[in-house]
Amino acid sequence: MAVTASLVKELRERTGLGMMECKKALVESGGDIEKAIEDLRKSSGLKAAKKAGRTAADGVVALKVADDGSYGVLVEVNSETDFVARDDSFRAFVDSVLAKAFATREQDVATLMAGELESAREALVQKIGENLSVRRVALVEAPVVGGYVHSNNRIAVLTALSGGGDELARDVAMHVAAANPQVNKPEDMPAEILEKEKEIIRAQPDMAGKPAEIVEKMMGGRISKFLKEVSLVEQPFIKDPDTKVGALVKNAGADITGFVRFEVGEGIEVEKTDFAAEVAAQVNASK
């Protein structure tokens, strides 16, 4: 049987695989679409491995906090598209990852995924036709741990307090999700980031031609302002801008000892594909 464009289209629709992959399977099966599907299913492990090179930069974050508030776990699971990130099967897989991470408190992704979870990931990759990856896991332990997941499931935060209660910890987590502080306290800012900020300030036009002592004085003021803007305890609380987050927590007899904020895809470089060029290359390759 001849391999027609309509056969390739049908196989793509039924499997979610690429055009050239479907064409190759149909050629090898003599144009028998059912046999092509059977052959592709037999090689599901191989297909999952081959898809691993595609960038998974969408997805969701999820968290769970212990009933006694003593610890919480946060995970990021990536897909290639937002469409898959909303799929029920994908969400069920995320729940399985979170459940195991919560039960074992394991933060190493490779160790967490070993065994059944990795098999489930590969099966789901074959089913939906997209690469999936468990990118990172975080464990937060403290006297009081609070969590917040934004409604779009793309930003989630765990906060650690030395005291206070669940509601306070959740409020701080909500603030972190919205304001995205870089550090907990000004003194936590890494020296290399401070130095980079100073270089930026020195290069600003209004610094040109000024005496060194004036430049240093102006820089001190701007660095102080910068640290207040990006330090959690110095930021105005989102629910009450007249109160700083640090003061809010201190008034409750507590202190913020740390936080973890995950945002889907942050830091992942997504390769930009020229679709027209890709199609042209596939056409040329098939000649």
DSSP state of 54: S
Domains along the chain? 5-42 (1.10.8.10), 58-189+231-263 (3.30.479.20), 191-226 (no CATH)
- Per residue in 122-172, pLDDT tens? 899 888 888 888 999 999 999 999 999 998 899 999 999 999 999 999 999
Q: 240-244 and 144-149 as β-strands: parallel, antiparallel, unpaired?
A: unpaired
**Per mean pLDDT, which range of 14-18, 40-44, 48-52, 268-272 is the poorest?**
48-52
Only one residue has tokens 């999820």, namely 62
Q: Over the stretch 37-73, which tens digit does the pLDDT of each residue have?
A: 777 766 644 444 445 445 557 899 999 999 999 999 9
d(CA 208, CA 203): 8
Q: Report residue 277's pLDDT band, with 50, 70 and 90 as the boundaries.
A: low
CA pair distance 112, 106, nearest whole angstrom = 6
- For the range 36-40, what are the long-range contacts, defined as Cβ-Cβ under 8 Å and sequence gap of 24 or more? 36/11, 37/11, 40/15
Q: Please report the pLDDT score of residue 41 as a whole number.
A: 67
Helix (H, G, I), strand (E, B) or coil at 78: strand
pLDDT computed for residue 45 by the predictor:
43
Task: Please write the tens of the pLDDT for every residue from 103-132.
Answer: 999 999 999 998 899 999 989 988 888 888
User: In Å, how far are 194, 227, 232 from 198, measured between CA atoms?
Assistant: 6, 12, 21
Q: Say whether pLDDT at 271 is over 70.
A: no
Burial of 187 (0-12, 13-18, 19+ CB in 10 A): exposed
Note the pTM of the prediction, 2 decimals.
Answer: 0.72
Alpha-carbon distance of 255 to 242, in angstroms, equals: 19
